[in-house]
Amino acid sequence: MRVSAGAGVYLTAAVESILRDVVAEAVASTLESKGSRVGVHSLAKAIRCPDIKRVFSTYTLSTNKVLSRPGDLLLTKMNKQKKLNASK
């Protein structure tokens, strides 16, 4: 298999770009929670960011904290019915 001389440089730049985004999101998550250190929870939350999660979609992460999920914001059947009745 042949690889061009610039392939290593391109790969390094791509990995650096992805890691820069992950670390920036982790730092933002840490500052949002008023923490002083970037930990596993912040990194896991950063990787689940909509912009980055497609890159890490085949990886499994474990943490001891509960992460927020979009499903937590969805309405239950009873709440949907209440909302529909209120709007009528």
Each domain of the chain, given as residue ranges in start order, spans 7-87
E-state strands within 3-68: none
Q: Which CATH number fits domain 7-87: 3.40.50.2000, 1.10.20.10, 1.10.540.10, 3.40.1190.20?
A: 1.10.20.10
- Residue 62 near residue 41 (C-beta atoms within 8 A): no
Q: What is the pLDDT of residues 17-31, one digit of tens each?
A: 999 999 999 999 999
Q: What is the pLDDT of residues 57-81, one digit of tens each?
A: 787 766 666 655 555 456 677 776 7
Q: Supply the pLDDT for residue 12.
A: 95
